[in-house]
Amino acid sequence: MVKNILSIKHSPDSWQLKEKFDSDNQEKLAETKSRQN
């Protein structure tokens, strides 16, 4: 697991992957909040 994270950090498009992952998480959080309200 840790090795995967380290290798991702060294890959050139790791930042793009992280941004996509973060934005996906934000959308999921927004969906969950709107369902609760």
What pLDDT is attached to residue 18?
A: 77
- Alpha-carbon distance of 5 to 27, in angstroms, equals 23
What pLDDT is attached to residue 14?
A: 67
3-state secondary structure the chain: CHHHHHHHHHCCCHHHHHHHHHHHHHHHHHHHHHHHC
Count of alpha carbons within 13 Å of 17, Cβ hemisphere only?
Answer: 9
pLDDT tens by residue, the chain, 37 residues: 466 656 656 666 666 777 888 888 899 989 888 887 6
What pLDDT is attached to residue 21?
A: 82
What pLDDT is attached to residue 3?
A: 65
**Is residue 14 a contact partner of residue 8, using CB atoms and an 8 Å limit?**
yes
